[in-house]
A and B are shown apart, each in its own frame.
Chain A
Amino acid sequence: MNNLLKMKKNSLSFKIISRILLACIALGLIIFSLYYYFTRSTIEEATRKDAISLAENSINKIEEIIKPAELIPTNLAWIIETGSIQKDSILSFLTKLVKNNPAIYASAIAFEPYSFSAGQKFYAPYAFRNGPRIETTILGSDEYNYFIMDWYQIPATLKQPYWSEPYYDEGGAGALLSTYSVPFYMNKNGQRVLGGIITIDISLTWLTEIVNSVKIFETGYAFLISRNGVFVTYPDSSFIMNESVFSLAKEQNMPELREIGRSMIKGESNLTSVNDPEKGKVWIYYARLPSTKWSLGVVYPHNEMYASLRKLNMLILLLSLAGLGVLVFFTIGIIKRLLSPLTKFSKSARVIAEGNFNAELPRIKSNDEMKELHDSFEFMQKELADYITNLKETTSAKEKIESELRIAKEIQMGMIPHIFPPFPTLKEIDLFASLESAKEVGGDLYDFFLVDKNHLCFAIGDVSGKGIPASLFMAVTRTLLRSVADNKKSTAEIVGSISKTLALNNESNMFVTFFLGILNIRTGELKYCNAGHNPPVLIKNKRDAEYFKITKAIPIGLFEDFTYTEESMVVEFNDQIFLYTDGLTEAEDANNNLFGNDRLLAVLHKNAEANPKLLIDETKKEVSRHVNGFAQSDDLTMMSIIYYGGKPEK
């Protein structure tokens, strides 16, 4: 138990053991309740039968003595009626009768008034024991008027045999007696008339012994009550002839006892219970003595009925507690032994988590779930080690690629001009450009250079796809542009030439949307060719912004022989050309809303008076506001050229 207390309340062992314990107790209680219930019923039933048989046996024993005794006066009545006994031999006859029947204490033949002889009102010869001797006397006088005594009057009145209420004879017998009286008849003038009463007095000492010998449990007992409910026998001898079951009921305020008493004197038999103020609930079985019409009761306290059961219960309880203790002891041992690897596994897992994949695992000898756990751990260790090795390699490869990409970007960015202002000596133009790749290296490109001292060539393009391939394709395009462009070729020829070169061996079918323009910085004449690129915006005189109205044509690099067309316009003082890739107009916010052409135009309109750098910065801010932190999905490239040439003379 100490072990159980020492366990942490949330530990697995505690949980398992406490649940097992609870289950065991619950199961034990159920089994015990069933056992208790059935045992109780069995005991109740057995006790009931026992009490009934005790009562019936006692009654039978009593009847065995009383029945033959009853026959004596009954037969005597018949003998007298036949006139077989001479009047002068009655006393000697009675003496012999008493002498020969030890059960009989005394006997009398009491005659009706004047029926023995005409002049004699009282005549009752009486033989009785006095120690070993049998003595005789003649009863009846004005003082001893037997005609009004129960033993004579009741059988004479009712014309039936009668067992008197028991009485204590202090004079001769010094014992409890009862008189059995039987009427006898005589022939008088041819008529059968009552001749008198024959009696036998019976000592009830033997009866008391029979009833007192009944014992049930500790304090169970039997008692006998007379026809009037008076106690004839009772464990407390002071009750005998003093108390009746009814006076007792009144004294102890037990109305139910009175009802039992009434049932008893009516000659009923029953098993019932009553609440005794001292003993609590007691059971009582009662039945009538058929001869005397008295009633025998067998009483046993309810609690005592279960005394043996209680002892057994105590034993079972102690055994159960001991068993439970042993169970807990062994369960704790077993569970601790079984679960102890778990603690070690937990430690190992920590060590592994710290990076030591070779951490020692607990040794499992059994072939159970713990073994499976061990194997899984071992497998995990191995897999983790492999994975980490793999990861290391992958990471170093990735780092290498990333560093290469970084270098590629630097190279790419090195390819495009990024010194602004590019032509500080040229007053006619101001130019600014910006390229922000979505990935390390992007597919957008812009370029500008002077073809000769009067012509500025500028281009913007967007390679299909992204990443290294796009940047390589962009580098090729840009290199081609630099090598092809000169002051003799039209923009369409340049674009066509680049397209043709790119289209050759373009097995991956990459292409570039491309816008190429050549501005005569002296005249403001702008010749341009668009190959599927977004139309640039022209901001006229720092006021109105509008898209170029241009033929879209197909991107370069797709077909070798496509003929592009050149278009031209004239830009004037303060006109600004704004070029961009679709990374601007298709910039998305979190809800996939595009920045859009209209918004671009609005931004440009708003900043119509700004120089190229400011314009591009403002546009970038607007885009940032639009995407609102959402990851840039495409390269964002802008280029803006403002023309200060062709200035009108002041």
Chain B
Amino acid sequence: MRMKRNKTSLSIFDKITKDHILMGTLYQKKDKIILIIFLFMISFCVFAQNEKLTFSPQWLPQAQFAGYYVAMDQGFYKDEGLDVTIIHPSASASAFDYLKKGKADVISSFLMDGIKQRAKGVPLVNIGQLSQHSALMMVTKKSSGISQLKDLNHKRLGIWNSGFDDIPIAMMRENNYQIELVRVLNTINLFLMDGVDALTVMYYNEYDQIINSGVNEDELNKFFFSGYGFDIPEDGWYCLESTYSEKKEALQKFIKATLKGWEYAAQHKDYTIHLVVSEMNKAHVACNKAHQSWMLDRMLDLIEPGNKNVEKGHLLEQDYYRAVNILKSRILSDYKDSDLLLENFYRPLAN
């Protein structure tokens, strides 16, 4: 039985040290001592100037977070004068836990989860929206005979135990379907073995895992929630209100450098995949390039506003209220209306 242990951290210090070594080779041996002292002083100055910022994505290393690794590796954060540390959540501590406990200054999270946390009273704010679309979907095997949404009525739908279930539940309630929800951890095996009739998946992740387990695309029926009026954006950036006040400028730079990282990733996919795979290897997470390439491409699709009237990095008002309404009417209770006003929830820091 698997006992997960996932911990990784990256420091800008690694990058600086590397540069020092490169420079060092340019100098003669006799100057070595002077040089080392000189460089040490410079390093010290750099540390002194750079503002420290800790970021936590909502999951283990994968291409979903490629832009952050690229921004780090390419020195985009350093260029903005930031000393960013990335910490990944574990089975025992989520990104929200890190945020609440002050271990992370800024985290990445789904919009729905961000709203739910705020409704529960966590004083967090959205400072920018990376993903503009929903990648959430359901798949069924064609052999199951389920080809339309209504065919799901009275069927078994596998769904994560950990969350992301608001939209499927909202969809069920809107259509008044009786669907048996079967909680699964995070694998697709029960679905592959026909233990459930349908499975909730992310298009960029589990869907491709199913394909990479030998099921062909044409053997599957796809139900994108975005196609049923639930195109709710996902990954966005959150920080505590206090952090927002204290580190506003640094957070602004963080978003700028991160978006630059994603742009660089879009133009240098091979390099990006290589970087992602090495991050995953460091974290001892199973990975392969084929799947990570798929995930990167899908993430890049999600970042593009497409037909939505919104700038990159910003949250569209309609999207926000659609999400709030889904949550308010079906799931949430006991919240303060003022907390969920857009102007209180959303404090845009993207340019």
Q: A residues near B, CB below 8 A? A: 106, 108, 126, 139, 143, 145-151, 153-154, 157-158, 165, 167-172, 179, 199, 201, 227-230, 241-248, 250-251, 258, 261-262, 265
Contacts and interface: CB of A to CB of B under 8 A. Distances in A.
Contacts of B92: 143
Contact of B161 (A148, A157, A179, A228): A148
Contacts of B287: 242
A229 B192 CA distance: 12
Contacts of B45: none
Nearest to B189: A150
11 contacts: A106-B1, A145-B185, A146-B1, A153-B184, A157-B190, A158-B193, A165-B187, A168-B284, A169-B3, A170-B284, A244-B212
A247 B3 contact: no
Nearest to A246: B212
A128 to B, nearest CB: 9
B211 interface: yes
B56 to A, nearest CB: 19
B289 interface: yes
Nearest to B287: A242
B190 A171 contact: no
Q: 3 nearest interchain CB pairs?
A: A247-B290, A171-B3, A250-B290
Contacts of B5: 170-171
Given A153-B184, A262-B214, A265-B214, A228 B192 contact: yes
A199 B2 CA distance: 13
B212 A149 contact: no
Contacts of A243: 288, 290
Given A148-B185, A170-B5, 16 more contacts: A108-B1, A148-B184, A150-B185, A170-B3, A171-B3, A228-B213, A228-B214, A229-B214, A230-B213, A244-B288, A246-B213, A248-B290, A251-B288, A251-B289, A251-B290, A262-B216
Contacts of B187: 150, 165
Nearest to B192: A228
User: By DSSP majority rule, is chain B's interface helix, strand, loop, or mixed?
Assistant: loop
Contacts of B26: none
B3 to A, nearest CB: 4
Contacts of A248: 288, 290
Contacts of B190: 150, 153-154, 157
Interface in B179-203: 182-185, 187, 189-190, 192-193, 195
A154 B214 contact: no
A54 B187 CA distance: 34
Contacts of B253: none
A241 B182 CA distance: 26
Contacts of A106: 1
B22 interface: no
A165 B286 CA distance: 13
Nearest to A126: B1
A247 B212 contact: yes
* Residue with the greatest number of chain B CB neighbours at <10 A, chosen from A165, A228, A258: A228
A201 B1 contact: yes
A242 B291 CA distance: 10
A172 B193 contact: no
B91 interface: yes
A432 B183 CA distance: 155
Contacts of B2: 167, 169
B192 A179 contact: no
A244 B212 CA distance: 7
Given A150-B187, A154-B193, A251-B290, A179 B1 contact: yes
B214 A258 contact: yes
A250 B290 CA distance: 6
Contacts of A165: 187, 189
Interface string B81-115: 00000000001100000000000000000000000
A143 B185 CA distance: 11
Interface in B248-294: 284, 286-291
A279 to B, nearest CB: 20
Contacts of A126: 1
A201 B216 CA distance: 31
Nearest to B188: A228
B139 to A, nearest CB: 15
A623 B291 CA distance: 119
A262 B214 CA distance: 5
B185 A149 contact: yes
A123 to B, nearest CB: 15
A171 B187 CA distance: 20
Contacts of A149: 1, 185
B97 to A, nearest CB: 12
Nearest to A145: B161
A3 to B, nearest CB: 64
A247 B193 contact: no
B259 to A, nearest CB: 29
Nearest to B277: A242
B195 A242 contact: no
Nearest to A157: B195
Pick from B2, B211, B289 the residue with the most CB of A within 10 Å: B2
Nearest to B185: A148
A407 B289 CA distance: 126
A242 B290 contact: no
A261 B190 CA distance: 20
A243 B1 CA distance: 21
A145 B161 CA distance: 10
A274 to B, nearest CB: 15
Nearest to A171: B3
Contacts of B161: 145, 148
B286 A242 contact: yes
Contacts of B195: 153-154, 157-158
- Residue in B1, B189, B213, B286 whose Cβ sees the most chain A Cβ within 10 Å: B1
B213 to A, nearest CB: 4
Nearest to A262: B214
Contact of B213 (A153, A168, A244, A251): A244
A158 B191 CA distance: 11
Nearest to A251: B290
B256 to A, nearest CB: 34
Given A143-B91, A151-B1, A244-B212, A228 B290 contact: no
A642 B283 CA distance: 153
Nearest to A258: B214
Interface string B4-39: 010000000000000000000000000000000000
A242 B292 CA distance: 11
A143 B90 CA distance: 12
Contacts of B289: 247, 251
A262 B212 CA distance: 10
Contacts of B288: 242-244, 247-248, 251
Nearest to A160: B193
B214 A261 contact: yes
Contacts of A179: 1
Contacts of A172: 3
A611 to B, nearest CB: 129
A265 B193 CA distance: 12
A258 B212 CA distance: 9
Contacts of A143: 91-92
A95 B183 CA distance: 31
B305 to A, nearest CB: 29
Contacts of A170: 3, 5, 284
A264 to B, nearest CB: 8
A365 B327 CA distance: 121
B5 to A, nearest CB: 6
A157 B192 CA distance: 13
A199 B3 CA distance: 16
A137 to B, nearest CB: 11
Interface string B209-223: 001111010000000
